[in-house]
Amino acid sequence: MELLVASAVGALTAGGVYLILRLRAFAVILGLALLSYAVNVFLFSTGRLAVNKPPVLDGYTVTDFAAYTDPLPQALVLTAIVISFGMTAVLVMFALGAYLEVGDDKIDMQAPDQPDQGATARDARDPEHEQIKFRFEPKERDV
């Protein structure tokens, strides 16, 4: 049983990392979801893998600690599922907004030493150049 759970965590982690490294927004969202599933399965497995055992002890005298499962990891996983669902919904909305604005979900990342291909130099004769003015004037304080 432990080998199966460990293999599942490893496969989910590997798939999540692979999808995060893709240059598509939808693949990155799926990769983050797979990573959150891997963390959830890992947290769930920390509470002992016991089949048909109660999560809460009956009374305070315990002779066999293998007779129950720890309820704390189960509560942590339940909380993590809710948080990851909300995070995924927010990321889907960001990706959908970017897709509707640009028309593609490709993530364009420039290297730090390469100039941006879409940027154009502002000319002093450009009418928008005259509209953008930044002024900093210190305010007098009443002391």
Q: How confident is the model at residue 133 (pLDDT cuts 50, 70, 90)?
A: low
% of the chain at pLDDT higher than 70: 64
In sequence order, the β-bridge partners of residue 106 are 24
3-state secondary structure of 24: strand
% of the chain at pLDDT higher than 90: 32
* Fold for the domain defined by 2-56+65-111: Helix Hairpins (1.10.287)
Torsion angles phi and psi, residue 24, rounded to 5: -125, 135
Q: Token match 């240059």: residue? A: 23
DSSP 77: H
- Residue-averaged pLDDT of the chain: 78
- Domain-wise residue ranges, the chain: 2-56+65-111
Confidence at residue 102, expressed as pLDDT on a 0 to 100 scale? 82
Model pTM score: 0.64
Most confident by average pLDDT, 13-17, 76-80, 93-97, 137-141: 13-17
3-state secondary structure of 133: coil
Torsion angles phi and psi, residue 32, rounded to 5: -65, -35
Over the stretch 58-70, which tens digit does the pLDDT of each residue have? 666 666 666 667 7
Q: How confident is the model at residue 29 (pLDDT cuts 50, 70, 90)?
A: very high
